[in-house]
Amino acid sequence: MEKRLVLSDPAYLGNVLYNRKDTLKKVEKKLNVFIVFRGGEVLIKGSDKNIQLAYNYLKNINDMVDKGILVGENAIDSLISELDNNNTLNAKAVFNPPKTHAKIKAILPKNVNQAKYLELIEKNTITFGIGPAGTGKTYLAVFAAINALLEKKVKRIILTRPAVEAGEKLGFLPGTLYEKINPYMKPLYDAIYDCIETELALKLIEQGKIEIEPLAYMRGRTLNNAFIILDEAQNTTVSQMKMFLTRTGFDSKVVITGDITQIDLPHNVKSGLADAVSLLRKLNLESIGFVDFKREDVLRNPIVSKIVEAYEKRDKNNQESENTF
């Protein structure tokens, strides 16, 4: 069987799909199909199912280009990695920027998991973003929070993380509360300043519409009509995570981010993130979503993916060695 797709912009798509990164060869290998790029069209040959999958993949890219959207290499490669999962219809989510308030700097999800993450944050009450550094977990959560605040979907944003390096005993440090916690919260400030102008960010913080505080100060609060982000959640204890989750009030959204492979807790202390993910996945609740970012989703310097891969391999080998005794 064979199927043809007429391209809306053969010159541009030829560069994206064929010349730049041999994308068509990757699709051929992944789906065991034969693809010919000739003139203004693509010819696909192979089994019925795989031809349709390859056709859908290429058509979505073609449709985006037809709308004037430039397709980036990160999105192309990420979608290729999803082909086995029949996940190609996510292309529109990947290539189409989410609707944002005029005062927010526009962003474009760069891979399938980023698009899925933003979609689940919009849809669910609680969303977990789990995976290595550099995948956009915190940045996209802060972006979604600020957008919700400016669109008046929530009244305030609360950003928190466990100050593990200080043992949460911030009372022993000199200065005001914000002077004490600032070194531990700086990544959250950085994300805010990346999303909106500094002047607006400072105004929202001064008005109390954006609060940044350590997890230890969350106890006893019930947070209604708020967008709450718990960052570096792998460094919470089980009791801290339970405390945090039960702060969720009416008309609120919660995003929890972390990397279970980078736990800074004492060796005999169980991670609250690992415990919560294990417990809550089993419930299969519609209002709780999970996105598992992979090393392929890392968008920092390419060497970071190699470093993550090396550590994952070493940790896996160590775990296998421990299991043999």
Give the residue-averaged pLDDT of 201-223. 88
Instruction: Give the pLDDT of residue 179.
Output: 66
Highest-confidence segment of 43-57, 155-169, 232-246: 232-246
pLDDT confidence tier of residue 158, bands split at 50, 70 and 90: very high
pLDDT > 90? residue 237: yes
pLDDT value, residue 88: 43
Q: Which domains does the chain have, with CATH numbers?
A: 2-95 (3.30.1370), 112-323 (3.40.50.300)
161 neighbors 230 (Cβ within 8 angstroms): yes
**pLDDT over 50 at 168, yes or no:** no
Q: Given pLDDT bands bounded at 50, 70 and 90, which one contains residue 239?
A: very high
Distance between CA 172 and CA 27 in Å, rounded? Answer: 58
Q: Are 201 and 224 in contact (CB under 8 A)?
A: no
- What pTM was computed for the model? 0.72
| Dihedral angle computed from the Cα positions of residues 66, 67, 73 and 77, in that order, rounded to the nearest 10 degrees | -80
Q: Which two tokens stand for residue 325?
A: 């005794």
What confidence tens digit (pLDDT) does each residue in 82-124 have?
665 554 444 455 555 567 787 887 676 777 788 889 989 999 9
Determine the pLDDT at residue 325. 54
Which one, of 222, 192, 194, 221, lies nearest residue 209 by Cα? 192
Q: Convert 87-103 to b/e letters by CB count within 10 Å (16 or more is b).
A: bbebbeebbeebebeee
Can you tell me the distance from the alpha carbon of 33 to that of 47, in angstroms, rounded to the nearest whole number? 7
Q: Which of 210, 220, 215 is nearest to 161 (CA)?
A: 215
Task: At 179, list the tokens.
Answer: 């002077």
How are beta strands 41-45 and 34-38 bridged, if at all? antiparallel
* pLDDT at 75 > cutoff 70: no
Instruction: Choose between 59 and 283: higher pLDDT.
Output: 283
pLDDT at 301: 64
Q: Per mean pLDDT, which of 90-94, 160-164, 191-195, 227-231 is the most reliable?
A: 227-231
Q: What is the mean pLDDT of residues 291-297?
A: 85
Greater model confidence, 308 or 199: 199
Asked if residue 156 has pLDDT above 60, the reply is yes
Q: Are 120 and 104 in contact (CB under 8 A)?
A: no
- Mean pLDDT estimate for the chain: 80
> Which residues pair with residue 271 across a beta bridge?
237
Per-residue confidence (pLDDT) for residue 63, from 0 to 100: 73
Q: Which pLDDT band holds residue 233 (cuts at 50, 70, 90)?
A: very high
What is the per-residue pLDDT across 35-73, written as a single tens digit (0 to 9) for each? 887 778 888 898 887 888 888 778 877 776 676 655 656
**pLDDT of 276 higher than 50:** yes
**What are the tens digits of pLDDT across the range 119-138?**
899 999 999 999 998 889 99
pLDDT value, residue 271: 95
